[in-house]
Copies of this chain bind each other. A is one copy, B any other.
Amino acid sequence: MTADATGPQAASPSELSGLVIGILGGTGDQGRGLAHRLAMAGHRVIIGSRDASRAKSAAADLGGPLIDGGLNHEAAAEADVVIAAIPWEGHADLLSELAGPLAGKIVIDCVNPIGFDSRGAYPIGVPEGSAAEQAASVLPASTVVGAFHHVSAQLLLDPEVDSMDLDVLVLGDDRAGTDLVIALAGEIPGMRGVYGGRLRNCGQVEAFTANLVSINRRYKAHAGIRITDV
């Protein structure tokens, strides 16, 4: 299709400018990688952690004037948009604790409930259907959007990588929320946000990370996905 008002770049850049991004569990590889790329795109980023000194240290390691660190609840309170880059273990508990400061905000869940054994990665069953739906159930006053599930932390953090060659599937039940996250993903060079469906279709997107792990092992790659004909 050709670019038009319904296309992947629908949200206007002016909605994004000045947005402060909080990253819960931001000291992990995925969180630091997203912090790095979103700061490069001009956003103030607050890395959150259970341990403020670890968050400040991670922020200092990434460097630059735009990245700061603090407790998870500080990141949740000070940010306009919050990314949950936390481990699957403890996912519901941590988000429940932060329901107050996250109320009224867009919460981007990028958590992949997958396990590993001797045969590789496999999806872990989630009673709510997906990590994102679990987040929505414990954060009824937030707008939960699923996104950034398939982004290689290693590539995000690699200073040699100028451009990320992948589409980010963005899932949610609120059009304004998914449009904003689609635009946010599009700020990172090479990355494109593509609407991927309602939240009830997020489980298979999260679980697909196990397939990407299998692909990476077989082909010695950092695989991502592109959606064709969009």
A208 to B221: give the CA distance in the assembly, Å. 22
- CB contact list, A202-216 vs B, under 8 A: 203-205, 207-208, 210-211, 213-215
Chain A contact residues, CB within 8 Å of chain B: 1, 6-8, 119-123, 165-166, 169, 171, 194-198, 200-201, 203-205, 207-208, 210-211, 213-215, 218-230
- Known contacts A210-B201, A211-B201, A224-B227; is-contact A219 B7 (Cβ 8 Å): yes
- In the complex the two chains form, is A223's CB within 8 Å of B214's CB? no
- In the complex the two chains form, is B210's CB within 8 Å of A208's CB? no
**Which residue of A165, A169, A200, A211 has the most chain B CB atoms within 10 A of its CB atom?**
A211
- In the complex the two chains form, is B197's CB within 8 Å of A228's CB? no
> Which residues on B sit within 8 Å (CB–CB) of A205?
204, 208, 211
Report the copy number of this chain in the oligomer.
2
- In the complex the two chains form, is A211's CB within 8 Å of B204's CB? yes
- Known contacts A201-B214, A211-B204, A211-B205; is-contact A228 B224 (Cβ 8 Å): yes
- In the complex the two chains form, is A214's CB within 8 Å of B198's CB? yes
> Which residues on B sit within 8 Å (CB–CB) of A220?
1, 6
A222 to B227: give the CA distance in the assembly, Å. 10
> Which residues on B sit within 8 Å (CB–CB) of A120?
197-198
- In the complex the two chains form, is B208's CB within 8 Å of A204's CB? yes
- In the complex the two chains form, is B211's CB within 8 Å of A169's CB? yes
8 other A-B residue contacts (CB within 8 Å) besides A224-B229, A225-B228, A226-B226: A6-B219, A120-B197, A171-B211, A196-B215, A201-B210, A203-B207, A215-B227, A215-B230
- In the complex the two chains form, is A6's CB within 8 Å of B218's CB? yes
Q: Report the nearest B residue to A164, measured CB to CB.
A: B228
Q: Report the nearest B residue to A122, measured CB to CB.
A: B200
- In the complex the two chains form, is B211's CB within 8 Å of A221's CB? no
In the assembled complex, the CB of A207 is this many whole angstroms from the nearest CB of chain B, namely 4
A208 to B212: give the CA distance in the assembly, Å. 14
- In the complex the two chains form, is A228's CB within 8 Å of B226's CB? yes
- In the complex the two chains form, is A227's CB within 8 Å of B230's CB? no
Q: Report the nearest B residue to A225, measured CB to CB.
A: B225
Q: Can you spell out 27 A-B residue pairs with CB atoms less than 8 angstroms apart?
A: A1-B220, A6-B219, A8-B219, A120-B198, A121-B201, A123-B204, A165-B229, A171-B211, A195-B214, A195-B219, A196-B215, A197-B211, A197-B213, A197-B214, A201-B210, A201-B211, A201-B214, A203-B204, A203-B207, A204-B210, A207-B207, A221-B230, A223-B227, A223-B228, A224-B228, A225-B225, A225-B226
